[in-house]
Amino acid sequence: MHIDLSARTALVTGSTQGIGAAIAAGLARAGARVAVNGRSRESVEAAVARLSAQTGSDAFVAAWGDITTDEGAREVARAVPAADILVNNLGVFGARDALEITDAEWRRYFEVNVLAAVRMIRSFLPGMKERSWGRVLNIASDSAVVIPAEMIHYGMSKTALLGVTRGFAKDAAGTGVTVNSLIAGPTHTGGVEDFVRELVDPALPWEEAQREFMRTHRPQSLLQRLIEPDEIANMAVYLSSPLASATTGGAVRVDGGYVDSILP
């Protein structure tokens, strides 16, 4: 299967590390020009240098700006006036007792995990529709479907993101633009390592801690291990390509079999 994105420009939000960085690298390897996004100039420029060395590609450009704000979104739009591929990866997560989640935390999770994606779609979808080609991909989570008791606010935001995806896919109907969600399962990132340490004995060696986390907190996983970011990126690159032209309005699972469902 050959994926050629050499004529395309991609923007991946929250892409200085973790899943976002893996997706950015995958898109660049497929030939795309990739805008790397983060809140600060320093973190983005460091990520661009790191990704360039990792992939041997000079296709990365810096697009710093806090897209949870209107001004930050405008900064990113100035750096990337048009994008053929938009990957809304930015997100926050964390464990909190259900009854201790404050109003401010509910709002923050909705604003970061949902409204920031909506803001980016509003910026770039019109141009995609005018050019009759585009890909919008929202990185959701198994938590959108299997709401974790220890982070209901996170699950709520990812469920909302599935609704946002379906709605904008209908808005783009018949234009040559596809809009999809990617449901990522428990994935091995630095942030997830910290999260695992919060929930299991922090004195355990990492491999043992990971197994204990999956056994006690994610027993539904058929993979029975954390997913690696590159495994998420492989599907993201495919969904960003011309080969996925008939997939839109969907929620495509890369969850290691975590969601107990026979439907996508």
Residue range 181-210, pLDDT digits in tens: 999 999 999 888 998 999 999 999 999 999
Residue linked to tokens 């997913």 = 227
Residue 264, pLDDT above cutoff 80: no
Burial (CB < 10 A; 0-12, 13-18, 19+), residue 27, is: buried
Range 50-60 average pLDDT: 97
Give the 3-state secondary structure of residue 149: coil
Residue 109 known to be catalytic: no
Residue 250 neighbours by CB under 8 Å, 6+ apart:
169, 180, 181, 264
CATH topology of domain 9-186+232-249: Rossmann fold (3.40.50)
Catalytic residue among 109, 154, 238, 258: 154
**By percentage, how much of the chain surpasses pLDDT 90?**
95
Tell me what pLDDT residue 1 has. 83
Crossing angle between the packed helical segments 152-171 and 103-110, to the nearest 10 degrees:
30
pLDDT tier for residue 261 given thresholds of 50, 70 and 90: confident
CB atoms within 10 A of CB 261: 11
The domain ranges of the chain are 9-186+232-249, 188-226
pTM here is: 0.95
